[in-house]
Amino acid sequence: MTTPFDLSGKTALVTGANTGIGQAIAVALAQAGADVAVAGRTPPVETQAMVEAAGRRFVSISADFTSIEPIPRIMEEAVAGLGKLDILVNNAGIIRRADSIDFTEADWDEVMTVNVKSTFFLCQAFGRHIMGRNAKGKIINIASMLSFQGGIRVPSYTASKSGVAGITKLLACEWAGKGINVNAIAPGYVETNNTTALRADEKRNAEILARIPAGRWSVPADMAGPAVFLASDASDYVHGTILPVDGGWLAR
Ligand code: NAP
C-alpha cells in the first residue's frame, strides 16, 4: 500500500551521513524506499550496512566540504551510481567553541565554509540537476536552534546556521514555482559528536536539560520522521519552512 510518505523509486544524496543526524536521516529515507548516496570524509561503513539492510542501493562518495571543489564530482558520482537525484539533505556541519573575544579567523572560515557555503553550492548544483530534467526535487537543509537564537561561545556556528535559514527561505522563494521544495529541519539538542563537549560540561548539560519541555535530549532518530515528511509528496506545498524538532525548546 502506498502512502504520501512513500519514497519508492526516489534517490537521495545526504552529506555527512557516516554518523549522527545524517546517518539517521539516510537510513530513514532508505527505510521509506529511497536509494541513497552519501558524501563525506569518513567511510560510512555502518550507514552502508543499515541502508543495504533496508534493501536499498547505496553509493559512497568521498568529499571534504572545507572547499566547494568536490561538488561537481559529487553530483557526477551520485547520478552515475543512482541514475538521478530527487532529494538533497545538506547535513554535514561543524562547530567551534571559544569566547567571541578570542575567536580566530580560522574557526570562523572553516565553519562558514562547511556549514553554509558548501550547503548553498550543493543546493545550486542540485537545483541545476532537477531543472535540467524538468523534474521535482526536495532539499532539506539542517539548521539549528541557533538559526533562531544567539547561543554562547559559538559565533561562527550561529552565523552559519542563521545563514542556512536565510538561504533556505531565499531558495524557496526562487524555486517553489520551479518544482523544488526547499526547507530545513532545526534540531534541538541532539546526542551526537557535535554536542559531546556540551554534555560533558555538567552545569551546561543540566541547564539545557532543565529547559527542554520533553524532558530529555534528542537522539538522531528523532529527525527521521520529519526528514521523510519533507522528502516526500506529503510536503509538496511546504516551502521555505525551518521546522524545529526540539522537544519544545523554542516554545519555552
Ligand atoms: P556529527 O555527529 O559531528 O556529524 C557531523 C557530520 O558532518 C559527520 O558526518 C562529519 O564527518 C561531517 N563533516 C564535518 N565536517 C566535514 C567536512 N569538512 N567534510 C565532510 N564532512 C564533514 O554531528 P551531528 O550533530 O550529527 O551534526 C549533523 C548536522 O546537524 C550538523 O549540520 C549540525 O550542525 C546539525 N545540528 C546538530 C545538533 C546537535 O545537537 N547535535 C543540533 C542542531 C543542528 P566526520 O565524521 O568525518 O567528522
| Ligand 1 geometric centre to CA of 171 (Å) | 22
Q: Return the half-sphere exposure (C-beta side, CA atoms, 13 A cut-off) of residue 215.
A: 0
Burial profile 163-189: b = 16 or more Cβ within 10 angstroms, e = fewer = bbbebbbebbeebeeeebbbbbbbbbb
| Ligand 1 geometric centre to CA of 177 (Å) | 31
Closest to 56 measured CA to CA, from 25, 85, 26, 79? 26
CA–CA separation, 125 and 41 (whole Å)? 19
3-class DSSP state for residue 69? coil
Which ligand 1 atom sits nearest the alpha carbon of residue 198? 40
Which one is catalytic: 58, 65, 126, 157?
157
**Whole-number pLDDT of residue 198:** 87
Residue 98, domain member (yes or no):
yes
Backbone angles phi, psi at 235, to 5 degrees: -110, 25
- Asked about 157 being catalytic, the answer comes back as yes
Residue 252, domain member (yes or no):
no
**Whole-number pLDDT of residue 2:** 76
Which ligand 1 atom sits nearest the alpha carbon of residue 145? 43
Sign of CA dihedral 218, 31, 129, 180: negative
| Number of domains present in the structure of the chain | 1
- Find the CATH number of the domain harbouring 203: 3.40.50.720
Residue 183, domain member (yes or no):
yes
**Whole-number pLDDT of residue 233:** 98
Residue 37, domain member (yes or no):
yes
C-alpha cell belonging to residue 189: 539538542
C-alpha cell belonging to residue 58: 547505496
| Ligand 1 geometric centre to CA of 3 (Å) | 31
**Whole-number pLDDT of residue 76:** 98
How confident is the chain (252 residues) per 10-residue block, as mean pLDDT? 90 98 98 98 98 98 98 98 98 97 98 98 98 98 98 97 98 98 98 91 94 97 98 98 98 96
**Whole-number pLDDT of residue 194:** 87
Strand order in the sheet with 87-90: 58-62, 35-40, 11-15, 87-90, 137-142, 180-187, 242-245
Boundaries of domain holding 38? 11-246
3-class DSSP state for residue 140? strand
CA–CA separation, 115 and 159 (whole Å)? 10
